[in-house]
Amino acid sequence: MEQRTIFITGAASGIGRATAILFHQKGWFIGGYDMDEAKLSELKLELESNIITGVLDVTDKTAFDVAMDNFSELTGGRLDIIFNNAGIAIGGRLDSIPFDKVIATVNVNLIGVLNGIHAAIPLLKGTDNSLCFSMSSSAATFGTAGMATYAATKYAVKGLTEALSVEFATFGSRAADVSPGIIDTALWQGKSYVEGQERKVTNMPKLNANRTDAGRTLGPEVVAQCVWDAYHSDTLHWYVPPELVDRERAKSASPEKLRDDSIAAQKPS
């Protein structure tokens, strides 16, 4: 197959869906995978052609291998981008969150990424200038209190990306990641815990809708454009919006200051 191809996890909504639509408009063949069969069907109906969809639990390595094999049969083994986008977020202090929810976050956000990358490696090796692109987060610029496990998985993704960017160069492939800030997606419709009791996550996109700084709310299509730009660049870490990199630099200059400022901010006035 001469047509370029992209395999997207978490493709049924939000950033994954926006990415599928953008790349389809650019003439790419889309592999869209998610747990939500109904929304996948809507995506396939909307795009009409040049797409394969499938229900996929990214924590199931065997299922991931099967999905990648099915994708490969249609693309002749070509994979220009794997976008490890699927993720979950459970809010709350670590001492308030049930441990099974902690492990579920690790399994989806980190183990799921490893499953995808490992399944994709043979195809990436066989495709010139291929890209392994993964979802990190602004929570990994400085560990975000109230999302400790989530932040840990996103830090892990950045470290994994850095290592693979060197390893994959041996066969002409690349690795990069993106750290989005407040993006208006279903991630903010998840769960949080206070003293072990389940509550709704604060709707940060709505709360930040009128901000104009790095904490402003952006649409998922902005991150989709970042995936496109990353394929045409050798930049390793991407930030959406770009000003988020300033927090990364502030941490490098003085992590203690960011820690102390964060502690002060959570104290009642």
Active site residue 150: yes
* CA distance readout (Å), 258 to 94, 142, 225: 20, 8, 30
- Which of the following is catalytic: 33, 150, 155, 231? 150
Give me the residue label for tokens 């992590």: 255
Beta strand spans in 158-241 (E): 174-180, 182-183, 191-194, 197-200, 217-218, 237-240
DSSP sequence for 208-220: TTT--STT-EE-H
- Closest residue by Cα to residue 235 from 169, 163, 174, 181: 174
Is 70 buried (19+), middle (13-18) or exposed (0-12) by CB count in 10 A? middle
Please say whether the beta carbons of 57 and 49 come within 8 A.
Answer: no
Active site positions, annotated: 150
